[in-house]
Structure 1
Amino acid sequence: MSNVKISTLINWTFSIIPIWFIGMTLYQRIFAAKSAKEAKRAWFIAGLFEYPFMAFLGVFLGMLAKAAFASGIIPAAEMAMADNESAMPLMLKHVLPIGALGLIMAAYFSAILSTADSCLMAASGNISRDLFNYKKSKNALKVVQWMTLIIGILAIAVALYVPSVLELMLLSYGFMVSGLMAPVLGFLLFKKPSRKAAIASMIAGSATLLVLQITGFRLPWELDAVVPALSLSLLLMLLVQMMGQKD
């Protein structure tokens, strides 16, 4: 924790915590439930396993990898060529037998793919419905299939361009939070949420983040672009909502 700055914690607070309110894959599971009661039960049960177990497991495995390197289990030559994200695979490679290593790596990749396909289907479904109105098309299935292929290729290109998993995750979280957090909160908190306020906040937040990322503008105190983007999105959502109520 001594390597994590206060600015980093603020950036993660603005990007990681809000994602649990707007994640597409989370709403997929909710809408797949048979009833609201079943969805709530599944949500609470998943939370009991998610936060106590998953939140500390990554940190614990990282500590084990560091201890394995210090004790000589992981050769110094391999560790010198590795980055933070390869610490766990290196530890598993030198600690586990081949059979167990294969099972662990299979579980590792299956978890990644199960999340990736959910995100891919959610993105292609949203674009096909919102932009192309595929329900009125006779070739609705082909529209969704082509959008899935195109988005998948774009995702691979972005992943190759940004090799760091953490950096890519925070970037994607930033775009989602900046554009969707304010409308979701408005829908949940306001009795009569304004459509204009939601659209304005989405455009303002996404555009702000995009401009700051493209220009490479450095914010004070090493803050990430998601901080002003989300702040502006929330402020604009509130202002337009209040103006609509006065009218």
Structure 2
Amino acid sequence: MELAFSGWSGILILLMYGLIMLGVGITTYLRNRNIHQSLDEYYLGGRGLGVMVLFFTFFATQYSGNTVIGYPPSAYRMGFEYLVSVPFFIMIIMAYLLFAPRLYSLGKKYKLVTPAQWFEKRFKSKAVTILAALLMLYGLGNYLLEQLVAIGQGVSGLTGGTIPYQVGVIFFVIIMVIYGWLGGMRSVAYTDTMQGIALLFGVFMLLIGSIVYFGGLPTSADYMQAYSPEKLGVPDGPGVVNWFSLLVLIGIGAAVYPHAIQRIFAAKNERTLKRSFSRMAWMPFLTAGVVFIIGIIGINAFPGLSTGESEQLVGMMASAVASQHVVFYWAMVLLFGGVIAAIVSTADSVLLTFSSIISNDLYGTYINPEASQHKKLLVGKLVGLVAVGILILVAWFPPGTLYQIFVLKFELLIQIAPGLILGLYWNRLHSKAVFAGMLTGTIIASVMTIFDYSLLGVANGLWGLLINLGVCVIGSLVVSVSVGEEKEAKQVIGM
């Protein structure tokens, strides 16, 4: 009997995982009904996430639809040049270690809920806080769009086209909204643990099946040598420069994801945070490395795919492997169930942080400071719902490949890094210099991206970041800081 992911089998898989996610949300709601009254409980899980749950929720944040669904197609199109995707994730861990432990201790001290609150506490500048919040909202909106596109492509690939791309997006958005409104951070973290285990097992089984049935790397290398020799080559000088700039851009940009920073705040203690990071250090090889190999094997397994067709490569390979043996069939059930659950829980996490910035930093701080926590939560949820509706319209006909969407958001999000990281250690960092640097970097990165202008092969966002950093440092050295301001900064950061 031939087993394949198509028709009702794929639909039943999706329904099963959708019901599991809803069940987790309902259970979490019934056990923690006070999440609808407390910002700490709803957005940070009561600041009590342990090592295992914190590890998997970090894992799901870093390795979601853009990795398992989006990275193999990029490896398929680029060949061995895309090996750079593994160091991307190593850079993220290195960037975390620059600031995460210190930010955690200050977040706990001042009971911070969002990263924008750190800007308000450190610089006491409405302009800096609002600009940082807007950049974070842009990055989150972009990331949420990426997850919606990944949902549609994953569902379409899993069901062999039985469920259209758009229907898959709508179905899981409804699941996500219900689940997010009910459970908050706790249900997101619990679901992350469930899908993380399924995801890791399924990815390794897909790798084993691909090697068994498609011939592995040697076969793909022979095929590329005969038909696509350019995919075997190493990049030239400009290509290496571009590699390096993307490493820095994505390494720092992903580390300052607002929803990742909220997970830093949600850790039970600093030791828990560090132990979670020590486990995360292995994941670039066990996840990004594995999906890279899968993409390379796909060059031989499904030759000649167009860019659009290659975006569904993982679904095609999983269906082919699942049809060979019942063991691989059920392994692919776990894989794609885990993939869809990962995408939805990541999207829900992004939406949660998006809502927290709206409710706590913009509405609660500047529009209605007297609002109760319950009202802040309600406003955040409603605005988040409107944002999801707008992004569904965009995702209906996605503007580019997952990789292009993935890179785009870092161009602007990374501009918050100088103020965030330098502000933790340098008490002379001036709020006016931070604002000027952040605004200048944003404008430069935006203009270069809009007009498709590239300089020396360096990513546009990195040019913006370098100028941003220069303005911050030079401006803070030139602009005098009063004794009172310096003393106040020392009290905030403890240095």
Task: Please indicate the TM-score interval, normalised by the length of the shorter structure.
Answer: 0.7 to 0.9
Within a 5 Å distance, the mapping from 1:81-100 to structure 2 comes to 82-97=308-323, 98-100=329-331
- If asked which structure has higher relative contact order (CA below 8 Å, sep 6+), I would say 2
Q: Does 1:110 align with 2:344?
A: no
Q: Does 1:220 align with 2:455?
A: yes
- Shift in Å at residue 101 of structure 1? 3.3
Match of 2:255 among 3, 21, 26: 21
Which residue pairs with 1:35 in the alignment? Answer: 269
Within a 5 Å distance, the mapping from 1:156-175 to structure 2 comes to 156-159=392-395, 160-175=397-412
Which residue pairs with 1:123 in the alignment? Answer: 354
Q: Report Cα offsets for 1:51-98 as digits up to 9, x if no partner.
A: 22123122111122123236xxxxx6xx35754432222111111145
* Cα distance change, pair 86–114 in 1 and its aligned pair in 2 (3 A): same
Q: Match for 2:411: what amino acid?
A: G
Q: Which of 1 and 2 has greater Rg?
A: 2
- Shift in Å at residue 233 of structure 1? 0.9
Runs of 4+ displaced beyond 6 Å? none
3-state secondary structure, aligned to 1:131 = helix
Whole-angstrom CA distance in 2 between matches of 1:164 and 1:3? 23
Whole-angstrom CA distance in 2 between matches of 1:84 and 1:7? 26
Whole-angstrom CA distance in 2 between matches of 1:129 and 1:81? 41
- Shift in Å at residue 23 of structure 1? 1.7
Which residue pairs with 2:243 in the alignment? Answer: 9
Which residue pairs with 1:237 in the alignment? Answer: 472
- Shift in Å at residue 200 of structure 1? 2.1
**Are 2:411 and 2:446, in contact at CA under 8 Å, matched by a contact in 1?**
no
3-state secondary structure, aligned to 1:219 = coil
Match of 2:299 among 66, 85, 94: 66
Q: Match for 2:479: what amino acid?
A: G
**Are 2:441 and 2:467, in contact at CA under 8 Å, matched by a contact in 1?**
yes
Which residue pairs with 1:73 in the alignment? Answer: none
3-state secondary structure, aligned to 2:409 = helix
Match of 1:203 among 434, 439, 449: 439
Whole-angstrom CA distance in 1 between matches of 2:377 and 2:469? 36
* Cα distance change, pair 58–240 in 1 and its aligned pair in 2 (3 A): same
- Shift in Å at residue 122 of structure 1? 1.1
Q: Match for 1:58: what amino acid?
A: V
- Shift in Å at residue 158 of structure 1? 4.3
Q: Match for 1:242: what amino acid?
A: L
- Shift in Å at residue 245 of structure 1? 4.7
- Shift in Å at residue 13 of structure 1? 2.2
**Are 1:11 and 1:224, in contact at CA under 8 Å, matched by a contact in 2?**
yes
- Shift in Å at residue 168 of structure 1? 0.6
How many positions carry a matched residue from both structures?
237
- Shift in Å at residue 99 of structure 1? 4.3
Percentage identity across aligned positions? 21
Under a length normalisation based on structure 1, what TM-score does the superposition of the two structures give? 0.83
Whole-angstrom CA distance in 2 between matches of 1:163 and 1:81? 10
Whole-angstrom CA distance in 1 between matches of 2:240 and 2:309? 23
* Cα distance change, pair 197–37 in 1 and its aligned pair in 2 (3 A): farther
Q: Does 1:51 align with 2:284?
A: yes
Q: Report Cα offsets for 1:82-128 as digits up to 9, x if no partner.
A: 54432222111111145443332111111112221111111221132
**Are 1:16 and 1:173, in contact at CA under 8 Å, matched by a contact in 2?**
yes
CA RMSD of aligned residues (A): 2.5
**Are 1:15 and 1:174, in contact at CA under 8 Å, matched by a contact in 2?**
yes
Q: Match for 2:288: what amino acid?
A: A
Q: Match for 1:187: what amino acid?
A: G
Whole-angstrom CA distance in 1 between matches of 2:428 and 2:391? 36
Q: Match for 1:27: what amino acid?
A: I
Q: Report Cα offsets for 1:16-66 as digits up to 9, x if no partner.
A: 111243122221221111211211111222223x22212312211112212
Q: Report Cα offsets for 1:124-178 as digits up to 9, x if no partner.
A: 211322221266324222211112112223333444442311101101122211x
Q: Which runs of 5+ in 2 are unaligned?
A: 1-80, 82-232, 324-328, 483-495
Whole-angstrom CA distance in 1 between matches of 2:259 and 2:241? 28
**Are 1:14 and 1:230, in contact at CA under 8 Å, matched by a contact in 2?**
no
Q: Which runs of 5+ in 1 are unaligned?
A: 71-75
Under a length normalisation based on structure 2, what TM-score does the superposition of the two structures give? 0.44
3-state secondary structure, aligned to 1:238 = helix
3-state secondary structure, aligned to 1:37 = helix
Structure 1 range deviating more: 8-17 or 114-123? 8-17
Q: Does 1:143 align with 2:369?
A: no
